[in-house]
Structure 1
Amino acid sequence: MAGLYVIAFDSTQQAIRTEMLLEYAEIDIDTMPTPKEITAGCALSIGFEGRDLDRVIGILRDERVEVRGVYLKNETGYVTIEV
């Protein structure tokens, strides 16, 4: 599914770990401040394009990464995506 997706975390440790895993998988990501519309315990989030959604979800599951949620940005804000 096309669009911008954001992964939010409860800990900085999980954000940095995920950044490393996704970079190793050569997925184009953007580490950014967590959008104010998303409540999370960590100030860092990771943005990525929809073309990589299946790969990202697979990595999160396989590596048992703890995330607050994965969100799709749309015209009205952010929508939670089931992981």
Structure 2
Amino acid sequence: MRDLNVCIIAFSSTSQSVNLYKILKNKKYNVVMIQTPCTISAGCARSIELKEKDLDAVVNEIKQNNLEIKGIYRRVLNDSTRRYYYSEIDI
């Protein structure tokens, strides 16, 4: 299994994901708005993907802006099945 150094932030609402995305883009973070993988959530369809090296700074932005998130997940590749899975990160 390989860690790909990518994290995904899942949200309970689209407005929370859009708010954080705008904040992070304005501060020049390298983030991408993606469809939430169905293995993470069947709720809100939007998540933010970021490099794991930026995780601490992004968590600080979430806290400073009082944003609600559903969870943060690390994307991992299972070498034997060649499929991704997501491991939740405690913050």
After TM superposition, the runs of 4+ consecutive aligned structure 1 residues lying more than 6 A away are none
- TM-score (normalizing by structure 2): 0.84
What pairs up with 1:33-52 in 2 under 5 angstroms?
Answer: 33-52=35-54
* Percent of paired sites with the same residue: 30
5+ residue gaps, structure 1: none
Give the alignment partner of residue 5 of structure 2, picking from 3, 18, 23: 3
Q: How many residues align?
A: 83
Distance in 2 of aligned mates of 1:16 and 1:41: 15
- TM-score (normalizing by structure 1): 0.91
Structure with higher Rg: it is: 2
1:74 equivalent in alignment to 2:82: no
5+ residue gaps, structure 2: 79-84
For the aligned residue pairs, the C-alpha RMSD in angstroms reads 1.6
Distance in 2 of aligned mates of 1:40 and 1:20: 23
